[in-house]
Amino acid sequence: MKSAIGIIGLGVMGASLAQNFANKKIQVSAYNHHKDKVDALVKKAKSPHLIGHDILKKFVTSLEAPRKIILMVPAGDPVDETIKKLTPLLSKGDIIIDGGNSFFRDTLRRTEELNKKSIHFVGMGISGGEKGALEGPCIMPGTSKTVWKSLRPLLEKIAAKDFSKKPCVVNVGAPGAGHYVKMVHNGIEYALMQLMAESYDLLKGLYGISNDNMATVFESFNDTRLGSYLMEISITVCQKKEGTKGLLDLILDVSGNKGTGKWTTQEALDLGIALPIITESLFARYISSEKNLRIALGKKVERKKPEDLPPLTVFLEMLESALYGAFLLAYAEGFMMLDRANTAYKFDLDFREIARIWQGGCIIRAKMLKDITKALPRNSGILLMDKKYLKDVVSSMDSLKNIAITGVLTEKPVAAYSAALNSFYSMTSTHLPSNMIQGLRDLFGAHTYQRIDKKGTFHTNWL
Ligand code: 6PG
């Protein structure tokens, strides 16, 4: 019997995905050029539906036509190298699916190159980490209707389920859109994580909350509208012990990144749109990496002792509300980016469906995605234009302001909270001081300006 799907690359994600297919009784061929990796997976899976291969040609012939092969190899050169080795073994109409975190422009290039050989190439974002890949990830492919038709039955079986038990997979749009949507997902992921980290910092630094009590706070938040995967795993991270110590206290305060957050910001700059919360969250990671400089400067600058803090119960109430508002704004920022990209790249995105599939399996899944799904029209990503959504954000504004002020007054960095606040103020300002910028530009560089009282472009001899 031939396999319905093949997977190349048996790292953590590839191996888990292969097992997921096998567990759903879908015959899967799993390939890795290291025989020991293949053997380890076959032994672990113990499934008649999973066949291991370490010879590429045999792997390819084990697949039913048209062949569907998911690449689970690191983004960048390994994807191109694998395609190069694989293509001569394929036939017209076969489908290569890149399930890694590839940059969408690489996906567009690869789609075009393989099109010339009549081989379909699909960029497909997969979210959910190892557990998600094994038990049900959120899957974001971007491809043609025909290719989607042949992938759909397979992917729907292994995907997570949304709040209405529908599979968390959809063809998000035209080629390239899958990896684009995953990139923005990761940008939002950066923002939500930074907001969680700033909340933790305020609670620990200002109120001396222990890790165990922090877990209790996050547990209570998780029972509210803030219920989310990131809140759940924050509880676990706070609770974890190593011996008698909390593991969290032993982890170096330097956060890494694999690049998707950086691409999100770079893309926003190219599109000419603002992504303040996501970008500040990325910068917060970069600043964290300046550990030696931070230590050197920290020794020279004395921090003021926090005073006049609100009682903890009051602060917790504000924090819950501020976090809710900031989360709403982070999602709004991500969807606005998707909206602008949709116009720029003609992705043909269905915004409501994207919010729906993010309800399950992915890292940014959260209760509030139910409301977000309802708030989004299919053809627009401007969440704040929804009356109820805007009202929810506005009602959290006082808390958001107070949390940001507390951070500023106690000299604690609250970059993501402040960015959320400022971007909301800017986006809801019917008048910004940009007339001043325009006046200055025209004075020193004759860059011209437009007027509110007449049409046209103007220049003034200012001096
Ligand atoms: C997911 C994650 C996953 C991974 C990213 C981000 O959706 O499952 O986003 O893809 O966590 O690589 O990692 P960095 O924080 O290292 O950029």
Q: Is 189 in the pocket of ligand 1 (CB under 6 A)?
A: yes
The CATH T-level fold of domain 432-463 is: 1.20.5
Task: Measure 382 CA to ligand 1 centroid, in angstroms.
Answer: 25
Q: For the purposes of burial, counting CB atoms within 10 Å of the CB of 227, is it exposed (0-12), middle (13-18) or buried (19 or more)?
A: middle
Mean pLDDT of 253-270: 96
Task: Measure 187 CA to ligand 1 centroid, in angstroms.
Answer: 10
Residue to probe by mutation, ligand 1, list 139, 185, 189, 263, most atoms within 8 Å of CB: 189
Kindly give the number of the ligand 1 atom that is closest to the alpha carbon of 261.
17
What's the pLDDT at 60?
98
Q: Is 16 in the pocket of ligand 1 (CB under 6 A)?
A: no
Residue to probe by mutation, ligand 1, list 254, 260, 263, 285, most atoms within 8 Å of CB: 260
Task: Measure 74 CA to ligand 1 centroid, in angstroms.
Answer: 12
Concatenated DSSP letters of 338-370? HHHHHHHHT----HHHHHHHTTSSSTT-BTTHH
CATH number, domain 182-427: 1.10.1040.10
pLDDT at 305 over 90: no
Convert the pLDDT of each residue in 9-47 to its tens digit: 999 999 999 999 999 999 999 999 999 999 999 999 999
Residue to probe by mutation, ligand 1, list 13, 101, 183, 266, most atoms within 8 Å of CB: 101
Q: In what order do the strands lie in the sheet with 50-53?
A: 50-53, 28-31, 5-8, 68-71, 95-98, 120-127, 138-142
What's the pLDDT at 303?
86
pLDDT at 308 over 90: no
Mean pLDDT of 2-9: 98
Residues of each domain in the chain carrying CATH 1.10.1040.10: 182-427
Percent of the chain exceeding pLDDT 70 equals 100
The CATH T-level fold of domain 5-171 is: Rossmann fold (3.40.50)
Q: Is 260 in the pocket of ligand 1 (CB under 6 A)?
A: yes
Mean pLDDT of 384-389: 97
Q: Please, what's the b/e burial string for 38-68 (b: 16 or more CB within 10 A of its CB; e: otherwise)? A: beebbeebebebbbbbbebeebbebbeeebb
What's the pLDDT at 17?
98
Q: Is 125 in the pocket of ligand 1 (CB under 6 A)?
A: no
What's the pLDDT at 249?
97
Task: Measure 39 CA to ligand 1 centroid, in angstroms.
Answer: 27
Task: Measure 257 CA to ligand 1 centroid, in angstroms.
Answer: 8
Convert the pLDDT of each residue in 76-129 to its tens digit: 999 999 999 999 999 999 999 999 999 999 999 999 999 999 999 999 999 999
Convert the pLDDT of each residue in 389-426 to its tens digit: 999 999 999 999 999 999 999 999 999 999 999 999 99
Q: Is 118 in the pocket of ligand 1 (CB under 6 A)?
A: no
Kindly give the number of the ligand 1 atom that is closest to the alpha carbon of 137.
8
Q: Which residues are catalytic?
A: 182, 189
- Nearest CA, atom 4, ligand 1: 129
Task: Measure 261 CA to ligand 1 centroid, in angstroms.
Answer: 9
Kindly give the number of the ligand 1 atom that is closest to the alpha carbon of 128.
8
- Nearest CA, atom 12, ligand 1: 258
What's the pLDDT at 85?
97
pTM of the model: 0.97
How far, in Å, are 5, 55, 311, 396, 406 from residue 399 at the CA level? 50, 59, 14, 6, 10
Residues of each domain in the chain carrying CATH 3.40.50.720: 5-171
Residues of each domain in the chain carrying CATH 1.20.5.320: 432-463
Cα–Cα distance, 131 to 426 (Å, whole number): 40
